[in-house]
């Protein structure tokens, strides 16, 4: 039994009556002026006490929308929610909390300059300047011990890694003593640390919580849940007991028929170096050293993959190369020319594309429309502008092309603000915008974050095509499968240094995994 105190026999005996704590019946949701169809179309879903119920679906399936409906962030267009068998109307997240429903959102949303405890105090109903912070701090320590979600209540959020911030978000929700916990894609930022989270969720299920766990990863659905419900384009494809289903069935439910891509790779032909980084040093937001003596080069048509747990300098490295963070020492050389500490515009002009880690904050300008975001970097140049005139029909045609090629779900190119798109759909737009000119160099940080299996295949194929066309590509990823599938060489980063460099073809998964886990230097270390 997957970490659940109620055996399947017991739970089938009660047939989801007495132990069902949250139920949604015939849930429909539409947004004014968006699509002709409903975003959620008559969904039935129930969560039982003591179970982890996984909600699985590809990008844009409606997972976040249903989670928002079940927790009070959105009002339903139709349908009914029941808590412990009683009908409830949730008009706000506060109503959700009052009924014991807590939601951990897909995107991290803590206030960066504040401490963990201050962030939690901010969310409390009695929050005012006199709120007894020490009480909150004690409670955070207690919760963090109880659920093994270790976090220092006095730590400033901006100093925390993505994994730690997420733990803080979970504690923030647990603070309200919920009985039902909804987690929206909690592993998309912490894939390397997912085991730890799974353990915590399993023990919560054992304590009797009902957990709705949202993911687009089939592997996770099979690993963690007791039951799994599959959503496709706003419709439920059915609920299965995890022990009685398998990958093949779930793939079919999610996508219809789909066969994963097979990647072909020719050896790197060219000796020309496109991107070179020499002895680079930089500071993190907390003024601590983030990069220490980092040196490497990437040739034309080569993919260098950076493996490692996030928070070891990868983000800062990408930021320094793309001009978003200052180097305190060392050089960034692009095509033989020194671009150290140049502004981002110069670096874009030098032919460097950037798929950033923070897609909503850095990747797009959220209040702008989809069309505006697609041409964000090209609006002043041909073919989109002539003199001071913008060629609107060219921009529209181009945006349409990117949206359809990358399968982004967008209702109106010129009316939809990018803010309302799902995370995976934003990622598709960014990938489209950053690759369509076949750039000389791409810095891609977690390029497939939030994408479903089919879109990941497309992205991997796209990177292979760009590689064949001569692009030099730097990829940062926590997903070792992705690094192994794409990279010609693999660098392992730990504590701001490159601790290992491997030939992709000879790379040994276990050895790399061990190096990531321990941060110890490997025998093949070379630059």
- The contact set with ligand ATP (CB under 6 A) reads 31, 34, 39, 57, 59-65, 106, 216, 409, 420-425, 450
The residue among 429 and 475 lying less far from ligand ATP, judged by its C-beta, is 429
Collect all residues with Cβ–Cβ distance below 8 Å to 177 and sequence separation of at least 6: 100
Could you tell me the smallest distance in angstroms from the CB atom of residue 216 to Mg ion? 8
CB 292 within 8 A of CB 336: no
The residue among 182 and 491 lying less far from Mg ion, judged by its C-beta, is 182
Hey, is 33 helix, strand or coil?
coil
459 binds Mg ion (CB under 5 A): no
User: In this chain, which residue has its C-beta nearest to ligand ATP?
Assistant: 424
The residue among 373 and 422 lying less far from Mg ion, judged by its C-beta, is 422
Please choose, from the candidates 376, 367, 349, the residue with its C-alpha nearest in 3D space to the C-alpha of residue 432.
376
CB 170 within 8 A of CB 123: no
Could you tell me the smallest distance in angstroms from the CB atom of residue 422 to ligand ATP? 3
Count residues contacting Mg ion (CB under 5 A)?
A: 4
Hey, is 68 helix, strand or coil?
helix
Could you tell me the smallest distance in angstroms from the CB atom of residue 453 to ligand ATP? 11
Could you tell me the smallest distance in angstroms from the CB atom of residue 59 to Mg ion? 7
485: left (phi over 0), alpha (psi -120 to 50) or beta: alpha
Residue 119 backbone dihedrals phi, psi, to 5 degrees: -60, -40
Footprint of Mg ion on 88-107 (CB under 5 A): 106
64 binds Mg ion (CB under 5 A): yes
Could you tell me the smallest distance in angstroms from the CB atom of residue 251 to Mg ion? 19
The residue among 106 and 236 lying less far from ligand ATP, judged by its C-beta, is 106
Q: What, of ligand ATP, Mg ion, none, does residue 39 touch, CB below 5 to 8 Å by kind? A: ligand ATP
Could you tell me the smallest distance in angstroms from the CB atom of residue 277 to ligand ATP? 32
Q: What, of Mg ion, ligand ATP, none, does residue 301 touch, CB below 5 to 8 Å by kind? A: none
Hey, is 89 helix, strand or coil?
coil
Pairing of strands 329-334, 52-57: unpaired
Could you tell me the smallest distance in angstroms from the CB atom of residue 333 to ligand ATP? 37
Q: What, of ligand ATP, Mg ion, none, does residue 62 touch, CB below 5 to 8 Å by kind? A: ligand ATP
Could you tell me the smallest distance in angstroms from the CB atom of residue 489 to ligand ATP? 31
From residue 391, how far is each of 349, 372, 386, 394 by CA, in Å? 21, 12, 7, 5
215 binds Mg ion (CB under 5 A): no
Q: What, of ligand ATP, Mg ion, none, does residue 512 touch, CB below 5 to 8 Å by kind? A: none
The residue among 306 and 446 lying less far from ligand ATP, judged by its C-beta, is 446
CB 66 within 8 A of CB 42: no
Q: What, of ligand ATP, Mg ion, none, does residue 65 touch, CB below 5 to 8 Å by kind? A: ligand ATP
Report the alpha-carbon distance of residue 488 to residue 47 in Å, rounded. 45
The residue among 313 and 424 lying less far from ligand ATP, judged by its C-beta, is 424
Burial of 129 per CB tally in 10 Å (0-12, 13-18, 19+): exposed
* HEC assignment per residue over 421-459: CCHHHHHHHHHHHHHCCCCCEEEEECCCCCCCHHHHHHH
The contact set with Mg ion (CB under 5 A) reads 63-64, 106, 422
């Amino acid at each position: 039994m997957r970490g659940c105190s109620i055996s399947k026999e017991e739970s089938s005996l009660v047939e989801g009556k007495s132990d069902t704590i949250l139920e949604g019946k015939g849930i429909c949701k539409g947004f004014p002026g968006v699509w002709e169809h409903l975003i959620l179309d008559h969904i039935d879903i129930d969560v039982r006490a003591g179970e982890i119920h996984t909600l699985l679906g590809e990008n844009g399936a409606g997972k976040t929308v249903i989670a928002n409906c079940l927790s009070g962030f959105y009002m339903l267009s139709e349908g009914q929610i029941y808590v412990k068998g009683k009908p409830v109307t949730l008009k706000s997240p506060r109503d959700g909390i009052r009924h014991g429903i807590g939601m951990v959102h897909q995107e991290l949303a803590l206030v960066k300059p504040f401490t963990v405890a201050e962030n939690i105090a901010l969310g409390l109903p009695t929050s005012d300047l006199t709120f007894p912070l020490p009480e909150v701090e004690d409670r955070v320590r207690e919760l963090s011990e109880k659920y093994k979600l270790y976090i220092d209540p006095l730590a400033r959020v901006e100093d925390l890694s993505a994994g730690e911030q997420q733990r803080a978000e979970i504690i923030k929700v647990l603070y309200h003593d919920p009985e039902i916990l909804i987690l929206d894609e909690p592993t998309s930022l912490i894939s390397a640390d997912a085991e730890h989270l799974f353990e915590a969720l399993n023990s919560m299920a054992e304590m009797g919580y009902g957990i709705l766990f949202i993911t687009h990863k089939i592997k996770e659905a099979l690993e963690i849940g007791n039951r799994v419900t599959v959503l496709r384009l706003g419709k439920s494809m059915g609920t299965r007991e995890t022990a009685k289903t398998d990958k093949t069935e779930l793939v079919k439910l999610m996508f219809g028929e789909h066969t994963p891509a097979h990647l072909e790779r020719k050896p790197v032909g060219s000796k020309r170096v496109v991107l070179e980084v020499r002895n680079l040093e930089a500071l993190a937001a907390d003024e601590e050293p983030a990069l220490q003596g980092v040196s490497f080069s990437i040739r034309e048509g080569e993919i260098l993959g950076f493996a490692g747990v996030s928070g070891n300098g990868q983000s800062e490295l990408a930021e320094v190369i793309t001009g978003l963070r200052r180097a305190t020492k060392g050089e960034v050389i692009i095509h033989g020319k020194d671009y150290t500490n140049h502004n981002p515009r110069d670096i874009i002009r030098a032919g460097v594309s950037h798929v950033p880690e923070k897609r909503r904050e850095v990747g797009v300008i959220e209040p702008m429309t989809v069309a505006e975001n697609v041409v964000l970097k090209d609006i002043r140049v041909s073919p989109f502008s002539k003199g001071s005139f913008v060629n609107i029909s060219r921009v529209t045609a181009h945006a349409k092309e990117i949206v359809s090629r990358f399968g982004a779900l967008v209702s109106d190119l010129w009316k939809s603000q990018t803010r309302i798109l799902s995370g995976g759909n934003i990622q598709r737009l960014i990938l489209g915008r950053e690759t369509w000119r076949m750039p000389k160099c791409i810095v891609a940080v977690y390029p497939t974050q939030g994408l479903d299996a089919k879109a990941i295949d497309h992205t991997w194929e796209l990177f292979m095509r760009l590689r064949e066309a001569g692009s030099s590509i730097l990829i940062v990823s926590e997903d070792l499968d992705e690094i192994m599938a794409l990279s010609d060489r693999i660098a392992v980063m730990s504590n701001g240094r490159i601790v290992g460099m491997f030939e992709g073809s000879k790379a040994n998964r276990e050895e790399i995994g061990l190096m990531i886990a321990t941060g110890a230097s490997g025998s093949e270390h070379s630059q």
